[in-house]
Amino acid sequence: MRTEGIWRADVQQRVFRELVEAFSRPGTIREIGDCIDGAVAQRAVLATLMDGEVTLADPHGQIAPADWPLLQAKPSACEHARYVAANGGRAPDFEPALGTLESPEFGATVLIEVERLGQGEIALELTGPGIDGQRRLHLTGLHPDWLRRRADWVGSFPLGVDLLLSDAHRIVALPRTTQIHRLEGVR
């Protein structure tokens, strides 16, 4: 039996390096389609990061039942999970963990699947660590509530959540330090 690419160690190493680039340079879109062999980006990222040590919440039913045993992650409520997989088209209807002052790394990583990165009706101007000056990000299919809620979640650094947006085969990170300004009427 041939193992699907995303469960292989060499593919996971390449996906991880793309994640490192994405988090180091918020707002830059990283293309991972060529290494994940037709799998959806969010699923490939989960395969790369999950094992039996972490908790994962799936409020929007993003994860196929057959994938859970392979991911090995412990299913958990959104409020406590270290990782949350979500559908960006739906409004966030949960409060993710924000970490504590002593241990801000317990703030969740939220993986949000959107329709399309790189173009669309939502235009964001980003500043912060990892960005030389400012960077612009266009995307389609993110419910406007996400940005409002995120602003509350990351309001008191070092507490907060780190977002990883993805479409079919691209990823872009918005860690808690990134300041997001939504541009109106820009395409």
Partner 1 sequence: MNAVSRSNAYNFGFLDEYAKKEVRRAILKAIAIPGYQVPYASREMPMGRGFGTGGLQLTLSLIGPNDVLKVIDQGSDDSVNAVNLRRFIEMTCPGVSTTTKTAECTLIQSRHRIPERPLTSKQIIVLQVPYPDPLVVVEPSEDKRKTMHGEADYSRLLVKLYEDIVKFDEITISHRYPTRINDHYVIDPSPIPRWDVPKLHASAALILFGAGREKKIYAVPPHTKAEPLAFSDVPFRVEDFRDEQGRRRACARCGCTDSFLDEFVTDSGIKTYQCSDSDWCNEKMALARQTEGKPA
Q: Which is nearer to partner 1, 84 or 141 (CB)?
A: 84
CB of 158 to partner 1, least distance (A): 6
Q: Is 141 in the site for partner 1 (CB under 8 A)?
A: no
Q: Is 10 in the site for partner 1 (CB under 8 A)?
A: yes
Q: Is 12 in the site for partner 1 (CB under 8 A)?
A: yes
Single-letter amino acid code for the residue at 123: A
Element (H, E) at 181: strand 179-183
**Pairing assessment for the beta strands 162-166 and 170-174 based on DSSP bridges:** antiparallel
Q: Which is nearer to partner 1, 53 or 184 (CB)?
A: 53
Q: Torsion angle, CA of 20/10/6/106, rounded to 10 degrees? A: -40
Exposure on the CB side of residue 21, measured as CA atoms within 13 A: 13
Q: Is 130 in the site for partner 1 (CB under 8 A)?
A: yes
CA–CA distance, 27 with 127 (Å, rounded to integer): 9
* Interface with partner 1 in residues 63-122 (CB under 8 A): 100-105, 109
DSSP string, 139-158: EE---THHHHHHHHHTSSTT
CB of 41 to partner 1, least distance (A): 15
Stretch that binds partner 1, among 4-12, 57-65, 112-120, 142-150 (CB under 8 A): 4-12
Single-letter amino acid code for the residue at 68: W
CB of 149 to partner 1, least distance (A): 18
Q: Nearest CA to 175 among 185, 155, 186, 160? A: 160
| CA-based torsion, 37, 57, 22, 17: positive or negative | negative
Q: Which positions from 150 to 179 touch partner 1 by CB under 8 A, shown as an x/- string? A: -------xx---x----------x-xxx--
Pick the binder of partner 1 from 16, 37, 181, 186 (CB under 8 A). Answer: 16
Q: Which residues bind partner 1 (CB under 8 A)?
A: 3, 8-10, 12-14, 16-17, 19-20, 23-25, 48-54, 100-105, 109, 129-132, 157-158, 162, 173, 175-177
